[in-house]
Amino acid sequence: MTVLTPAQRAASLEAMTSQTLDVLVIGGGVTGAGIALDAAARGLSTGVIEAQDWAAGTSSRSSRLVHGGLRYLYNLDFKLVAEALKERGRLLTLIAPHLVEAQPFLWPLKTPVIERAYSAVGVGLYDALAVAGAGFKKTVPVQKHLSKKGAMRRFPDIKPSALTGAIEFYDARVDDARLVITLIRTAAQYGAEAASRVRVTSILKDDGGRAAGVEAMDLETGEALTIRAKRIINATGVWTEQTQDMAGGTGGLKVLASKGIHIVVPRERIKATSGMFLRTEKSVLFIIPWQYYWVIGTTDTAWHEQLVHPVPTSADIDYVLEHANEVLDEPLTRDDIIGTYAGLRPLLQPKVLDETKSTKVSREHTVTEVIPGMVAIAGGKLTTYRVMAEDAVDFALGAESKQRPSVTFDLPLLGAPGLDAVRNQASRLGAKYGFDADRMKHLLSRYGSELGELLASIDEDPSLGEPLAAAPRFLKAEVHRACAVEGALHLEDILVARVRLNSEARDRGASAVDEVAEIAAAALGWDAERTAKEKENYLARVAAEVAAEEQATDAAASAARMKVADIVG
């Protein structure tokens, strides 16, 4: 079993500081995690470091969609859409079928003839590109045209006046943070060394000015680290410029931050079996069903505050509510909201900083040389992380990439191999452990074919088979696994990115703090003082997040959030 634990982290740091790596990846979001897996699977000695928790930035704050980008067809970005749909098909069928699930959406039509005609052409092309990308096999159902009555059967809570009919099409959804953590674990399975909460402080260079590694700080211990590497890949998203500036020189990428926010409401609050896709004056709005809740968003506004903890404002929440309520028969109110979150999109600017540097522009993302031996990648989206990773490693290797080609196109992530066989055991296993069909669906969608490992932990300690009292859809075993397998180092790591009560519970998980901390303390060896500190810090974070979303402006919201210091660093 491949685990991320404090002991593994210490061993990885020892390994990274005692050799010269072939590749060092800076950044533990989906792009950096994908790069680490790509490099390790080629047989390269690989290290990946992240300044916060895995996926703590953009990659745990997205719309949680794996999609081709239907709206890009209106900009005639056929290659971009085709690439994304091809990757969507691989994720659904081979790479991560346990984590990525096909999801139907309704596109409501306002006019009965003209809009249906041009929308049908667009969605039809979307379907055709998906089928072509999957080798002319359907990975999701193709579009269906629905009458007004048919659409309202799928989505009873839509306003009758909001549509004359609809087109039903498919995309897919994913728990973004869980995907990243699974990528890191899979990279570790193939030999990558991985450590979260390690902050780069400077870029090392050899006598010729070539990047040769980094100086870094272990934020858990305060220890200074030296990690040497033949090649560095900067995959730090909205921190791209800050990271590459440490190298000096003139190369690199220019990236701006755009904030997108989401609200979460209970599943029973909206009666529907399909999601909804709406075009707004600024962007698009998705109403996305999950097993226990709906995620609704997003916005697209420039963000000029600190980058670590973006937060929604009161105005952001009002905007999402207003646009959702344009189509909902029973309007949502703030009382319906059980969670909110905000993330920053790294918007890649059109030109690299130094046009004389070698550069590869691939549709929506760009890879370029910062200084010799160090490259930066930015742009793209979660769906195309694998292609971005392949491009980044190819670029870093140069001519050597022909002898060491990427193998990730056909490489399943942990939890994918044997998934069908484990799904076939669901009824029997559920009966054995007293879990109903909903519980088994929840567990399979999180752990896939690794479900047996979770159940084995319950066999060892039957108390782990009990639900959390404050959040009964999660088992105590899931908290234990977050610490023993999935790399959680702190209470907030569990509640933000693994047992995601921070964004999926009305009190952001505050009522579960005592029981979650008790399990974490046993798994991670915390004493009473450490446990109390973890609880105090998380509850202070919750209070700051609640205060932030009551503010009217980004500056005021950011200031409210930053009144609470991070647990380390």
pLDDT tens-place string over residues 218-238: 999 999 999 999 999 999 999
Mapping DSSP to helix (H, G, I), strand (E, B) and coil, where does residue 49 land? strand
Residue 134, pLDDT above cutoff 80: no
Contacts of 98 (CB under 8 A, 6+ apart): 415, 416, 419, 444, 445, 446, 447, 448, 449
The pLDDT of residue 74 is: 66
Q: One-letter amino acid identity for 270?
A: I
Residue 84 CB burial class (10 angstroms; 0-12, 13-18, ≥19): buried
Give, for 497, the enclosing helix (H) or strand (E).
none
Helix, strand, coil % (nearest 5) of the chain? 45, 25, 35
The candidate with the shortest Cα–Cα distance to 536, out of 500, 494, 504, 490, is 490
Residue 509, pLDDT above cutoff 80: yes
CA 542 to chain CA centroid, nearest Å: 21
**Pick the residue with more confidence: 126 or 470?**
470
Torsion from C-alpha of 298, 301, 303, 307, nearest 10 degrees: 20
The pLDDT of residue 251 is: 87
CB 68 within 8 A of CB 126: yes
> pLDDT band at residue 113, thresholds of 50, 70 and 90?
low
Contacts of 267 (CB under 8 A, 6+ apart): 289, 290, 291, 292, 293, 294
Strand order in the sheet with 198-205: 20-21, 223-229, 211-218, 198-205
Which of 86-95, 212-221, 276-285, 458-467 is predicted least confidently?
276-285
DSSP characters over 130-152? HHHHTTS--SSPPPEEEEHHHHH
> pLDDT band at residue 356, thresholds of 50, 70 and 90?
low
Percent of the chain residues topping a pLDDT of 70: 92
The pLDDT of residue 114 is: 56
Percent of the chain residues topping a pLDDT of 90: 83
User: What's the chain's average pLDDT?
Assistant: 93
Q: What mean pLDDT do residues 84-96 have?
A: 94
The pLDDT of residue 111 is: 74
Q: How far apart are CA 213 and CA 254, in angstroms?
A: 22
Residue 355, pLDDT above cutoff 70: no
The pLDDT of residue 78 is: 75
Residue 69, pLDDT above cutoff 90: no
The pLDDT of residue 144 is: 87
The pLDDT of residue 12 is: 98
DSSP conformation class of 495: I
**Pick the residue with more confidence: 430 or 139?**
430
DSSP conformation class of 98: T
Residue 67, pLDDT above cutoff 80: yes
**Pick the residue with more confidence: 397 or 124?**
397
The pLDDT of residue 121 is: 62
**Pick the residue with more confidence: 141 or 358?**
141
Which of 35-49, 74-88, 137-151 ranks highest by mean pLDDT? 35-49
Q: What mean pLDDT do residues 291-317 have?
A: 97
**Pick the residue with more confidence: 337 or 361?**
337
pLDDT tens-place string over residues 33-55: 999 999 999 999 999 999 999 99
pLDDT tens-place string over residues 558-567: 999 999 999 9
Burial 266-305 (b: 16+ CB within 10 A, else e): eeeebebebbbbbeeeebbbbbbbbeebbbbbbbebebeb
Residue 294, pLDDT above cutoff 90: yes
Q: How far apart are CA 362 and CA 352, in angstroms?
A: 13
pLDDT tens-place string over residues 146-186: 999 999 999 999 999 999 999 898 999 999 999 999 999 99
Note if the pTM is more than 0.85. yes
pLDDT tens-place string over residues 366-403: 999 999 999 999 998 999 999 999 999 999 999 999 99
Q: What mean pLDDT do residues 66-71 have?
A: 81
Residue 457, pLDDT above cutoff 60: yes
**What string of H, E and C letters represents the secondary structure of 359-379?**
EEEECCEEEEEEECCEEEEEE
Residue 253, pLDDT above cutoff 60: yes
The pLDDT of residue 115 is: 62
DSSP conformation class of 412: P
Q: How far apart are CA 223 and CA 499, in angstroms?
A: 30
Burial 384-413 (b: 16+ CB within 10 A, else e): bbbbbbbbbbbbbbeeebeebebebeebbb
Mapping DSSP to helix (H, G, I), strand (E, B) and coil, where does residue 475 land? strand
